Amino acid sequence: MQINEAKYKATHELASRLFPNEEWIQQGENIFVAKSRMSGSYKERAKLNREISDVRILTKRGSVAYFLPEKNGYKSTGIRRVDLVLDGTIMELKTISGNRTTLGKAFKKGFKQGLSMIESHPEIIARHDVFLRLYTPFTIESVRAKLAGEIKSTTNKGQCICYFEETESLCYWTYDELRAIVGK
């Protein structure tokens, strides 16, 4: 699959604005990684490999991913970092293998990480998304309802993308669609 030029440009531009001094290394089809992120410990490299595996679900469908740096003073600023920029959008990845409480907490944490990134860069107009890879055999309806309850009092723009490992189903819900479920 070839790189979609518009997605590549939007993704590269946002990642480069967030980290202007970073070098980006291609690590597979439509996947680029901050060079500084590739020199971490064994544990950090294992985490990156898992995250690349997660995002391949989307890049195989034409998305473009830029994995952001882990360090470079970013953690020490109090800003919650996010994993990547995907198709010109800030995104946090979460893998879920627990119960509905675990699902809610992981989604909320990912949502807050994206929100923190947006708030710390007011010069960048972007939305923030969360990608959930679900190993627990939840139903689509139960996941959608749980996520809606987690963001019912928010007004942010973005979407949640859920990949249901058991059925290999991929669902996209905007935050507005989720809030509409609970009437907010």
Q: What is the CATH number of the domain that holds 46?
A: 3.40.1350.120
pLDDT: is 70 or 16 the higher one? 16
The pLDDT value recorded for residue 79 is: 56
72 has pLDDT over 60? no
Name the one residue in this structure whose structure tokens are 């509409």.
180
pLDDT digits (tens, 9 = 90+) for 84-107: 999 999 999 999 999 999 999 999
pLDDT digits (tens, 9 = 90+) for 133-180: 999 999 999 999 999 999 998 989 999 999 999 999 999 999 999 999
pTM value surpassing 0.85: yes
What is the domain extent for residue 113? Answer: 5-181
Distance CA 70, CA 39 (A): 10
Domains identified in the chain, total number: 1
**Helical residues (DSSP H) of 21-99, grouped into ranges:** 42-59
pLDDT digits (tens, 9 = 90+) for 121-136: 888 877 899 999 999 9
The b/e string for 100-127 (b: 16+ C-beta within 10 A; e otherwise) is eeebbebbbebbebbbbbbeeeeeeebb
Mean pLDDT of 30-57: 92
75 has pLDDT over 50? no
